[in-house]
Amino acid sequence: MITPPTERWHILGAGAIGSLWACHLSLAGHPTALILRNASRLRSFINPIQLREQNSERSIKLTAELANNSEPIHRLLVTTKGYDTLNAIDSIQHRLSSASLILLLQNGMGQQQQLADKLAEPRPDIAIYTGITTEGAYRESPQTLVHAGRGESWLGPINAAAQQRGAAALDSLLQLGLKTGYDQQIVQRLWQKLAINAAINGLTAIHGCQNGRLVSDPSYRSQMQRLCNEVEQLAAALNQPLFNRPLIEVALEVATATAANYSSMLQDVRNQRPTEIDTINGYICRQAEQLGISTPHNQALVSTLASLQTTASEN
């Protein structure tokens, strides 16, 4: 059963990316509700969001609610941090039905299969999709959302129920003003995004810089190159295709296209929140260790970021 196009999209994760998709869904006339953790966050959505894109700025009133709301959820977009996926789904699982679909649009890898495994036996009828996005967005203030870099997004199925429903169930997302496509074989794109994030996000976090600085600073470029070399070595050992050219070239292009963007990982460090390093470079390290492959530069990045966060929490 495919839900009618007039049914509401619920969004778990009210950060920059979740809010960006909520804004574009609302602009396209789709009923949308952000699901928030607590009443204080709910009060922050009383006022409209100012969406700044290129040379335009629009005021958009977003609807928000708490997880314990009783309204059924038919279409759920999850943009929480990867490490928080299972807890986030647990908070609204009582609102899901056989007609529900879940789309994970997150950085990192590992959580997608964990969710599919978790729901495989009790809820095999729930369609689970996943996706990647290179859209660049950040919160300049609590009420101002900056769409800093235009990118593209790809969505695809990761369980049998989603394969059966296909792209039609995601039509409302595929037809937005955001450049979005559907890929039945989404796993390669997940690896591509993982590889790019591994080259960019952690470095911007430890150096405290916008993405573009990684391109302009020769020392940072060298660090990117070493990270990319290790990711490519792992991908080759797994027979996992990445790109038809060197990863460093692609990563530099993405950093250039999103030069004004502050990565979500940097924003997390600045706000003393947990980062997704464990589902990005940490995932690379764990996969490599299983194969006996050395990844000293990725491991050093994970350790440096962990030390940085420990120091920040102690101050």
Q: How far is CA 267 from the centre of its chain?
A: 14
Length of the chain, in residues: 315
* Residues 32, 63 contacting (CB under 8 angstroms): yes
State the residue for tokens 């059966």. Answer: 164
* Residues 77, 105 contacting (CB under 8 angstroms): yes
Cα–Cα dist 193/21, whole Å: 18
- CA atoms within 13 Å, Cβ hemisphere of 89: 25
| Integer CA distances (angstroms), 241 to 196, 219, 238, in order | 14, 28, 9
Cα–Cα dist 218/95, whole Å: 51
Cα–Cα dist 194/190, whole Å: 6
Burial annotation 126-161 (CB, 10 A radius, 16+ → b, else e)? bbbbbbbbbbbbbbeeeeebbbbbebebbbbbbbeb
φ/ψ region of 2 (left if φ > 0, alpha if ψ in -120 to 50, else beta) reads beta
Q: Where would I find the beta strands (DSSP E) of the chain?
A: 9-12, 32-36, 49-53, 56-60, 64-66, 73-78, 96-105, 127-133, 136-141, 144-149, 153-157, 180-182
* Residues 122, 291 contacting (CB under 8 angstroms): no
Q: Which of 61, 118, 179, 193 is catalytic?
A: 193
193 is catalytic: yes
Report the catalytic residues.
193
